[in-house]
Amino acid sequence: MITIIDYHMGNLRSVQKGFERVGFEARISLDREAVENATSLVLPGVGAFGDGMRELRCLGLENAIKAKIAEGIPFLGICLGLQVLLDGSEESLEEHGLGIVPGQVRRFEPAPGRCVPHMGWNTLSFSQPDNPLFAEVPEGEHVYFVHSYYADPEDPSDTAATSCYGAEFAAAVRRGSLFGVQFHPEKSQAVGLKILQ
């Protein structure tokens, strides 16, 4: 069963429904023991980096998540759930992230004709071969984004897919069985369901 981590930061039920639509059982839990015993984890999230990290610590989930990722179980971070995998964020300079993927979370620079947040459909370009997350997804497929900040991994090989909003940015990361996506697969219609599957 897939365990979706509830840390009071977002659209948990829509993520759960997405997995159920492609035939997977998924439970929502904020219980540390459930996380510690999970065989696969999803960390969704909408909101601020600092708030997210404070909630994870308050619930006693920070070290539990790190330990499960170190075990190598399948892990998917979505939106804020991707961003907290990095070292820190320009959004909350006083807070450190989980530090699983070295790098920083940076803010999009506003420009004439380009609003922040980046909101809406955008294309994916793949930068890792044989990534199982995108096995059924054609290059250039559109997915749905809502974010003002983006992950900037230190090691380019951690970037699994890119998109462009004024400049190229990491739309997805991968390290072994750890995956993170900046877009919302649960809001990305048929292509998003293929990614969840």
User: Any idea of the CA torsion for 122, 86, 14, 138, to the nearest 10 degrees?
Assistant: 40
Kindly name the residue from 55, 62, 147, 184 that is annotated as catalytic: 184
Kindly name the residue from 55, 62, 79, 147 that is annotated as catalytic: 79
The backbone region for 79, taken as left when phi is positive above 0, alpha when psi lies in -120 to 50, beta otherwise, is left
Q: Which token pair is 192?
A: 């998003």
Kindly name the residue from 62, 91, 141, 186 that is annotated as catalytic: 186
Residue 171 burial (10 A CB sphere; 0-12, 13-18, 19+):
buried
Which residues, other chains included, contact 126 with Cβ-Cβ below 8 Å and sequence gap of 6+? 134, 139, 160, 161
At 181, which amino acid appears? Answer: V
Q: How far apart are CA 84 and CA 104, in angstroms?
A: 9
Residue 186 is among the residues annotated as catalytic for this protein: yes
Residue 79 is among the residues annotated as catalytic for this protein: yes
User: Any idea of the CA torsion for 145, 54, 13, 73, to the nearest 10 degrees?
Assistant: 90
Residue 58 is among the residues annotated as catalytic for this protein: no
Spatial contact of 181 and 137, defined as CB atoms under 8 Å apart: no
Spatial contact of 23 and 52, defined as CB atoms under 8 Å apart: no
Indicate which residues carry an active-site annotation. 79, 184, 186
